[in-house]
């Protein structure tokens, strides 16, 4: 699963902050973040799989907040057209929870020995890759047991994102549902909430 160094369509950005359980990537394109719950993959010695759980756009200088510019413009697009420099003064970041990695050509459903390094490229996973990685419903464990905010929402978003890529969506969701019941013992309410949102 070597990484190509050429620029390709799936490349979203690179790691700018990293830790054992997750990383932050900066997008090459302003507003170029993958959807909430999407499966991404970083480079590095242990290519890590992550689920997107937090997307933010702000000024490059965090101490200075952008000022409003659109009072005289007709549309929102016009604001950017009239201020081409904005694309360079603003940045879009996204955070991912690491849910597994690949090592020796194999998928591992636990955390990698070291997280992706700073500047590791971050790619969108192909449908084929999503299907392979999610074939084992245990892939949700690191996400479901993490302490991110809006956990249920993110898990549900992840299922909305991955389920349509499966050969048998229903079977996939039932399998995942059973796993979730195991992750949240004595809290079937939570499982129910997620499943109902996942199936929307």
| Separation CA 200–CA 197 (nearest Å) | 5
Choosing from 86, 135, 188, 197, the residue that interacts with other proteins (CB under 8 A) is 188
Per the listing, tokens 């490349």 go with 11
Provide the 10 A C-beta neighbour count for residue 72.
8
Contact residues for 65 (Cβ-Cβ < 8 A; gap 6+): 58, 59
SS3 call for 86: helix
Per the listing, tokens 């604001």 go with 79
Cβ 199 to other proteins, closest distance in Å?
5
According to the binding rule CB under 8 A, does residue 187 interact with other proteins? Answer: yes
According to the binding rule CB under 8 A, does residue 195 interact with other proteins? Answer: yes
Cβ 128 to other proteins, closest distance in Å?
25
According to the binding rule CB under 8 A, does residue 174 interact with other proteins? Answer: yes
| Separation CA 55–CA 47 (nearest Å) | 21
Question: Judged by CB under 8 A, which stretch of 48-56, 73-81, 143-151, 170-178 contacts other proteins?
Answer: 170-178
Cβ closest to other proteins, residue 17 vs residue 170 = 170
Residues binding other proteins (CB under 8 A):
170, 173-174, 177-178, 180-182, 185-189, 191-192, 195-196, 198-199
């Amino acid at each position: 699963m070597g990484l190509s160094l050429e620029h390709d369509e799936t490349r979203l950005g690179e790691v700018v902050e990293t830790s054992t359980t997750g990383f932050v990537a900066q997008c090459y394109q302003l507003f170029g973040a993958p959807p909430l719950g999407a499966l991404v993959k970083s480079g590095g010695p242990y290519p890590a799989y992550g689920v997107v759980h937090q997307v933010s756009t702000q000024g490059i200088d965090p101490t200075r907040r952008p000022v409003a510019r659109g009072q005289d413009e007709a549309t929102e697009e016009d604001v950017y057209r009239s201020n081409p420099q904005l694309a360079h003064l603003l940045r879009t970041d996204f955070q991912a929870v690491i849910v597994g990695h690949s090592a020796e050509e194999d998928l591992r459903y636990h955390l990698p020995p070291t997280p992706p390094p700073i500047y590791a490229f971050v790619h969108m996973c192909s449908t084929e890759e999503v299907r392979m990685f999610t074939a084992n419903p245990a892939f949700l464990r690191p996400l479901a047991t993490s302490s991110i905010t809006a956990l249920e929402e993110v898990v549900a978003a992840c299922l909305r994102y991955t389920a349509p890529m499966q050969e048998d969506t229903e079977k996939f969701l039932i399998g995942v549902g059973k796993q979730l019941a195991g992750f949240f013992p004595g809290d079937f309410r939570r499982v129910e909430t997620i499943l109902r949102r996942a199936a929307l």
